[in-house]
Chain A
């Protein structure tokens, strides 16, 4: 079993299943904060999937997209928590 087979038949399905589980929490999360945490974790798992895919296709250019995805995840979490805080103060 080569490295490519291992990554394609074991690692990527495991990451896909975990993405699915996080998406269930994203759908049923009782409060808005649960959904924000699930979104952050979805993007972080997406970085892992992009990394494995860049090994599988042998193209390191995908790692740039992973870096931008990390930036967007942090920015979205900070923006959501800022506006949650602000909404609470105004009411």
Chain B
């Protein structure tokens, strides 16, 4: 019974990791690549780790596996957001067929502050200086 569970879970995990690898090589744009790899690879590695926990069937190893899964679930979105934000500032272009850039003109080019218009950010900076 456990053998079948391990086979099914590890096969699903390997398929998701393979999909992430195909996605990172086929997607036309950095932001689409980040979006593919974060989700698919997190799910795939989680399934592989759960299959290891079922195979060993000890409380120490299960807690270790749960710690790794929690850590990956917490850090993958944070890392993806940070690298996406930094590459938006450094001028990585969007795909030529993407329709809309919602962040255009909302980041101040020097201070990297976020507001709905650049004028508002400058007003904020001036009010901070006057205080």
Contacts and interface: CB of A to CB of B under 8 A. Distances in A.
Interface in A1-57: 2-3, 6-7, 10-11, 14-15, 17-19, 21-22, 24-25, 31-34, 36-38, 40-41, 44-45, 47-48, 51-52, 54-55
Contacts, number: 163
Q: How large is the interface on B (under 10, 10 to 19, 20 to 34, 35 or more residues)?
A: 35 or more
Contact of B48 (A2, A51, A80): A51
Interface of A: 2-3, 6-7, 10-11, 14-15, 17-19, 21-22, 24-25, 31-34, 36-38, 40-41, 44-45, 47-48, 51-52, 54-55, 60, 63-64, 66-67, 70-71, 73-74, 77-78, 80-82, 84-85, 87-89
Interface stretch (B51-59, B94-102, B114-122): B51-59
The B interface, classified by DSSP as helix, strand, loop or mixed, is helix
